[in-house]
Amino acid sequence: MSHQALVTIILAGLVVGAFGLFRWVGSYSDRVFASRFRTRFPEKTLSYSGEQFGELVQSDLRMKYVFPILFPLDLIVMLALAGAMGAASSHWLNQIYPSAAWLGLVVPAVYLLSDLIEDCLLGWLLLRGDPLAAARSVSILKAITTIKLVSVSASIALTLIALAGWLVHSESLAI
């Protein structure tokens, strides 16, 4: 097995592990939210109202949402996802098209930054517990969530495209 193939296996394992962690934290948080809300809607969807968000910031779940769900669990997930996808896509892009390797770092970094900003804003609003401030912040929160959802989707697509490009381009797989 070539060095590049071994690196690819390790990077792919890190990406799969990060998505496993993502799934586990999602499952954990869904169990916490099941008693009152259908899901962590501020992070997963754009289809909620200021009134619904205001209800969340006044609920008995708000402190459980901040700790441990947002901090540290979601923080660990975002670091794992962005780090694994950034390392993998940048490495694979560097192998097939070196001048585009920066893209493999920038796209996951945008995801990481937007998710971190989203979590900080959510945490602040939840700790504050003011439904009027929460309702006024919904459009800003939804804009940040949109950037997060688009950038994580772009990171996933870029990682898969970079892997596919490396597999097609790799001499180690030549028959």
- Confirm if 108 and 154 have CB atoms less than 8 A apart: no
**Structure tokens that stand for 35 in this block:** 């008693």
- Domain boundaries, position 35: 3-173
Query: DSSP secondary structure string, 102-162?
Result: THHHHHHHHHHHHHHHHHHHHHHHHHHT-HHHHHHHHHHHHHHHHHHHHHHHHHHHHHHHH
d(C-alpha 99, C-alpha 160), whole Å: 18
The percent of the chain in helix, strand and coil, each rounded to the nearest 5, is: 85, 0, 15
Overall pTM surpassing 0.85 (yes/no) = yes
Is there a contact between 104 and 158 (Cβ–Cβ < 8 Å)? yes
pLDDT tens track, the chain, 175 positions: 889 889 999 999 999 999 999 999 999 999 998 888 888 999 999 999 999 999 999 999 999 999 999 999 999 999 999 999 999 999 999 999 999 999 999 999 999 999 999 999 999 999 999 999 999 999 999 999 999 999 999 999 999 999 999 999 886 555 4
* Total residues belonging to the chain: 175
CA distances from 156 to 122, 127, 141, 152 (A): 24, 32, 22, 6
Domain count, the chain: 1
Sequence-separated (6 or more) residues with CB below 8 Å from residue 115: 74, 78, 82, 148, 152
